Structure 1
Amino acid sequence: MPERYQLVQTPARLELHDTHDPKVGAVYVDFVEGKAQHRRLFGGGKGQDIAKAIGLHKLKNPHVIDATAGLGRESFVLATLGCRVTLLERSPIVHALLADGLQRAQASDDEIVRTIAQRMALHHADAHTGLAHCCAREPADVIYLDPMFPERQKTALVQKEMRFFHEVVGDDHDDEDLLEIACQYAKHRVTVKRPRHAPTLGGGKPAFVISGKAVRYDIYLGKATAQ
């Protein structure tokens, strides 16, 4: 990790601080309040594009592997919608932030949040090898991929988090290989989140696409569905 960034355990939570620019604020994971709470209460439920992209109109409480967990926002949304979610994160720094956020959610005074968090299982693993181990324990109905890409939004929060990911975590140079691996293990589908106008991963053609205003979801059929 670059020297400018530092993990700090505050009385409230584990945070990542930018020592060169403290004004930008800390990066942390919070599944209890803030944006996670707002989306849980007002996000649109199973009418959201991500719910359609995962296939929740067909699959009941599926096992989803979020192979590029990041700060866990999509994983929490999926767990909120009833999915059992396995989160894979290879960065030890991001994994530490996720583990802290998940632990606080599991200890929350909010019973609903605790129930959602209990459907989430976090593993420190590179998905290129971790998918095989996870699927050996329990097959994945859906594998979700959200490879890193430059955000178009210019808010301070987005700039802060994207700078953190690019400088601390690094770019996803192997995401095309990961798509190929995911398609080997997903039972029903692989769902890939992309910027709306970005090229597909590896140039392959998805089975179908669900597109929103800023992002789209490319869906590739898994081995059970494709047969």
Structure 2
Amino acid sequence: MPKTGVVVCGAGLEELAARYGLPWQRDDAAAGLRLLRDGDTLVLAGDERRYGKPLEVDFVDGKAGHRRRFGGGRGQLVAKACGLGKAAAPSIVDATAGLGRDAFVLASLGARVLMIERVAAIAALLEDGLKRAGAASELAEIATRLTLTHGDAACDLASLIAGAGVAPQVIHLDPMFPHRDKSALVKKEMRVFRELAGDDADAPRLLEAALDVATHRVAVKRPRKAPPIDGPAPGHTIEGKTSRYDLYVHRSLST
């Protein structure tokens, strides 16, 4: 289950703190991880020696902007896994949204994507990133294809999808892989996620829930050499250089 420990800091952020059930204080004097404003951007900041630079969701520039322009279009691994071929793009639920990078790629390729994020602080960053993307003229149309909801997909996937009014054809999962090699934690961004969410020990339950509600397929992102999630065997696999997708056909289509 997600862990806690983030404090929202700064005047004007009281309502955001209340919506996400996070503690708030006026001044940025808290130790540990804090959500605060850096100019117009909401960031998640902590000790840079441990966590690196403040974390934000930026769909306009940075990695997301570069991937949107030069990422390879529908030839990308995530696009193939989620069925974005030459036909109309499917309706997709990204049930482990994280910083929204895969969801944004799928939306930029024409898919409507519901993002579900269970860690409150990360969901708040996503909300802020979506708002700024919607205000950018070159991204406004893409932003309209992205919807965000905060909740635990492993426990409440069907109700979260129903509440958003989505008919999910494809469900995309990228559960946290329980690394045992400490060198895997060198990337400081990953340290933030592991401290807030831990490893996704409930990934098998999430896969079962996804198979119950997806009308076409479930696409599960895994490290290339990692074992599949415990449960039904994937029907097909698509491999990239460092990761792969295990694909599961919806139960009603496999009988």
Distance in 2 of aligned mates of 1:53 and 1:176: 19
**Post-superposition shift, 1:181?**
0.9
Deviations 1:114-133 (A, max 9, x none): 11111000001111344212
1:119 paired residue number: 145
Q: 1:5 aligns with which of 33, 49, 65?
A: 33
1:71 paired residue number: 99
| C-alpha spacing 1:16/1:59, structure 2 compared with 1 (3 Å) | same
Q: Is the 8 A contact 1:185 1:223 kept in 2?
A: no
Q: Which has the larger radius of gyration?
A: 2
Deviations 1:67-121 (A, max 9, x none): 000110000000011110000011111110110111100111x33x111111000
**Post-superposition shift, 1:24?**
2.0
2:24 paired residue number: none
Deviations 1:7-44 (A, max 9, x none): 11111301111136388211110000011011001000
1:154-173 matches, cutoff 5 A: 159-173=187-201
**Post-superposition shift, 1:225?**
3.0
Distance in 2 of aligned mates of 1:20 and 1:60: 44
Q: Is the 8 A contact 2:175 2:221 kept in 1?
A: yes
Q: 1:196 aligns with which of 220, 224, 244?
A: 224
Please list every run of 5 or more consecutive structure 2 residues that lacks an aligned counterpart in the other structure: 6-30
Equivalent residue pairs, number = 223
**SS state at 1:21 partner:** helix
| C-alpha spacing 1:205/1:194, structure 2 compared with 1 (3 Å) | same
2:159 paired residue number: 133
| C-alpha spacing 1:23/1:72, structure 2 compared with 1 (3 Å) | closer
| C-alpha spacing 1:62/1:224, structure 2 compared with 1 (3 Å) | farther
Q: 1:45 aligns with which of 73, 94, 104?
A: 73
**SS state at 2:225 partner:** coil
**SS state at 1:8 partner:** strand
**Post-superposition shift, 1:57?**
1.7
| C-alpha spacing 1:143/1:58, structure 2 compared with 1 (3 Å) | farther
TM-score normalised by structure 1 residue count:
0.90
1:17 paired residue number: 45
Distance in 2 of aligned mates of 1:200 and 1:167: 24
Please list every run of 5 or more consecutive structure 1 residues that lacks an aligned counterpart in the other structure: none
TM-score normalised by structure 2 residue count:
0.81
2:14 paired residue number: none
**SS state at 1:88 partner:** strand
| C-alpha spacing 1:17/1:180, structure 2 compared with 1 (3 Å) | same
**SS state at 1:198 partner:** coil
2:249 paired residue number: 221
RMSD of aligned alpha carbons: 2.2
**SS state at 2:187 partner:** helix
| C-alpha spacing 1:6/1:86, structure 2 compared with 1 (3 Å) | same
